[in-house]
Amino acid sequence: MKKNFTFENLQIAIPKRKSNSHKGLNGRVLVIAGSKGLGGAGIMASEASLYSGAGLVTLHTHKSNLEASLIRNPEVMALGISKFFPISENVNVILYGPGMQNDEWSNKMLEHLHNLPKESNLIIDAGGLQHLKNQNLTISNKTILTPHPGEASNLLGIPISEIQQNREKTARIISEKFNSSCVILKGNKTVVYFKDKRETFVCEDGGPELSTGGTGDILCGVIGALLAQGLSLHEASLLGVAVHAKAGEIFADKNGEIGLNATAIIPIIRKLLNK
């Protein structure tokens, strides 16, 4: 049985800051993203985590993306190295896959990922989903997969048209096949499926304004930040999807549905999370 949800339903879950708050209390997010030439994905995901309240955000990206990241967000600890910095061993959330290809750098990151804390929440998107399909990636019981219809089609080997006709069923099948705690099937009326309670939720917010490159990277960053601040996997997934969709609506109400640049919704998300 499916349940519909909106941002209005979930505002109660927005994390509140304590008076003695510090960056450690607000959580640490590690973003592993951005092969050579695809640095924007990691930059957007890490920026979204920063603006959504994570206490400390670290970006492991290809060295060619370092300068752009540091210019855009000096607050993000951007590292263009071949092995992980020690701080990566003490993270609450790992976001893996945006802008990653099947190249030497990505394969090195995959090797190191296996050595990171298994108790950390793991969000897998984009290129990370291809690693999952190739059975090169073992996931824990605290993993969220975030495919769009094309990626879902690739994971299951069925046409996109079939995915779109059976979106709720598709999310459940992906969860079962890859043993993922949660699957977020992006698109019109994003579907969120939780394996533990076999529950399906459908987001009523959002529209076609979000159908542009980069919005999925931002969604991952938002969910990662919410998890890092202590929300449960259920709360962070639903609130992340809802606030992301609502931000798209607000942009479209002011500017129209055509021409949204993904980073434009990041400050809107921050404002919604501070309501």
90-133 pLDDT tens trace: 899 999 999 999 888 888 888 878 777 778 899 999 999 999 99
CATH number of the domain that 90 lies in?
3.40.1190.20
Q: Which of these, 135, 139, 112, lies nearest to 58 by C-alpha position? A: 112
Tally of domains in the chain: 1
Residue 18 domain flag: no
Q: Which residues contact 100 (CB under 8 A, 6 or more apart)?
A: 32, 33, 34, 35, 38, 41, 106, 109, 126, 127, 128, 131
DSSP secondary structure letter of residue 158: S
Strand 182-185 to strand 28-32: parallel, antiparallel, or no bridges (unpaired)? unpaired
Residue 46 lies in a domain: yes
Radius of gyration of the chain, Cα coordinates, nearest whole angstrom:
17
pTM: 0.96
Q: Tell me the per-residue pLDDT of 61-86, one tens digit each, with 9 for 90 and over.
A: 999 999 999 999 999 999 987 666 66
Q: Which domain holds residue 103?
A: 2-6+25-273
Is 168 inside any structural domain? yes
Is residue 35 one of the residues assigned to a domain?
A: yes
Predicted confidence (pLDDT) per residue in 6-27, tens digit: 999 999 999 999 888 888 889 9
In a domain, 108, yes or no: yes
